[in-house]
Every structure is written in structure tokens, then in C-alpha cells.
Amino acid sequence: MSADKITRMANQISLFMESKPHAEGVAGLAAHINDFWEPRMRRELFDLLDQGGAGLRPLVVEAAAQIRRPAPV
């Protein structure tokens, strides 16, 4: 999956979660990614975050601490 697609998907979830109280939005975003994204997708998200998170909304960056980082391949 391309970095652009991962960014777009994470940002779409973020836009929805930004309508909630902040802490609930952070937790909800992390829970959604943990529950529905396969390890390969989460690995690609963390690759983006490790490179500075360019293009990711701030809520995605903040939620990263609550997202399960998959084992490297």
C-alpha cells in the first residue's frame, strides 16, 4: 500500500475523531487502527511516523503512542 493511501486513510479516521472530545478522539483513532488495520498497514504507518509524519494530521501523530507497533519483518 502506498504511503499516500496510508496517510489518506489515517487522516480520514482523524477527521471523524476530531469531532469528539480530544481524549476520546485520540483513544478512538488508536482503537480503530488497532482493531481494523492489519500489521502490514500499521507497520507502514509507523514507517511514516518514524520519518517525521509528514502529511499526517496531529491527532494521528498523538494517537501513535496508543497504536500497537507490529514486529518488524
pLDDT for 73: 82
Decide: helix, strand or coil at residue 38: coil
pLDDT band, very low/low/confident/very high, at 63 (cuts 50, 70, 90) = very high
Query: For all residues of the chain together, what is the average pLDDT?
Result: 97
Query: What pTM value is reported for the model?
Result: 0.94
pLDDT tens figures, 20-50: 999 999 999 999 999 999 999 999 999 999 9
Decide: helix, strand or coil at residue 58: helix
The DSSP element (H or E) to which 13 belongs, if any, is helix 3-17
Q: Give domain limits for the chain.
A: 3-66
